[in-house]
Amino acid sequence: MTRIFVTIATFLMLLSFVGCKSKKMPTIQAGSERLTLPFSGKEYRSDADHFRAVNTGNSVDYAMARRIAIQNARTELAAGIEATLKAVTAQYADQRQVSNRQEFQSRLEEESRTVVNQLLNDVRVIGDETYREPNGNLTVWVAIEMAKDALAQAMNNQISRDERLRLDFDQHRFRQIFDEEMKKFENDR
């Protein structure tokens, strides 16, 4: 029995040494070309004051390619905003004594989706570039942004219309948590 145990222990030890072998770092092959994508600078990433998104659209028709690019960027922007608002909502509900936390959180998230959908119509295009592909198609890159203050104000307005949410809502505390979450974008740069 002891002999089997020693054999298994030795085998596991040898296996762990094989697994710890250093991995070779990937190298850049000769002839590789570095690509700089449009709108890849810091000024096109979300920060403490704005949510931003960059995306593309491709079509033989310029208007269609641009429409696709804007829709893709809006979808990406909405996902980022909703993730931030979900984090803010969870943190806010954790810090506050709300009567029915689960209901409060789900109603607040529902209201935030409504606000985001409304505000997505008012995003500002901050960059737009068009490229003709070798096959004749057009690729349009767009960068869009939404001010965090517009979102915060719209959230406050929406919540003030909902009597049940208003009872458990501290506007000042919500804004503090929201601002802290937005500052994380600055730190992630």
Looking at residue 188, its pLDDT comes to 65
Looking at residue 3, its pLDDT comes to 54
Looking at residue 23, its pLDDT comes to 56
Looking at residue 25, its pLDDT comes to 58
Cα separation, 81 vs 116, in Å, equals 8
Task: Bin 28: left if φ > 0, else alpha if -120 < ψ < 50, else beta.
Answer: beta
In total, the chain counts a number of residues equal to 189
Looking at residue 118, its pLDDT comes to 82
Q: Of 77, 41, 36, which is closest to residue 189 (Cα–Cα)?
A: 41
Only one residue has tokens 């104000």, namely: 153
Looking at residue 153, its pLDDT comes to 85
Looking at residue 51, its pLDDT comes to 92
Residue by residue, DSSP assigns 51-109 as EEEEEEEEESSHHHHHHHHHHHHHHHHHHHHHHHHHHHHHHHHHHS--TTHHHHHHHHH
Cα separation, 161 vs 123, in Å, equals 24
Cα separation, 126 vs 51, in Å, equals 12
DSSP run (H or E) holding 129: strand 124-132
Residue type, 154: A
Looking at residue 161, its pLDDT comes to 80
Cα separation, 55 vs 66, in Å, equals 10
Cα separation, 107 vs 154, in Å, equals 15
- Per-residue pLDDT in tens (0 to 9) along the chain, 189 residues: 555 544 554 544 444 444 444 556 566 667 777 778 899 999 999 998 999 999 999 999 999 999 999 999 999 999 998 888 888 888 877 777 666 777 777 777 788 888 888 888 779 999 999 999 999 999 999 999 999 888 888 888 887 787 777 666 777 788 888 888 888 876 664
Residue by residue, DSSP assigns 11-46 as HHHHHHHHHTPPPPPP-PPTT------TT-SGGGS-
Per-residue tokens: 44: 């096109």
Looking at residue 7, its pLDDT comes to 53
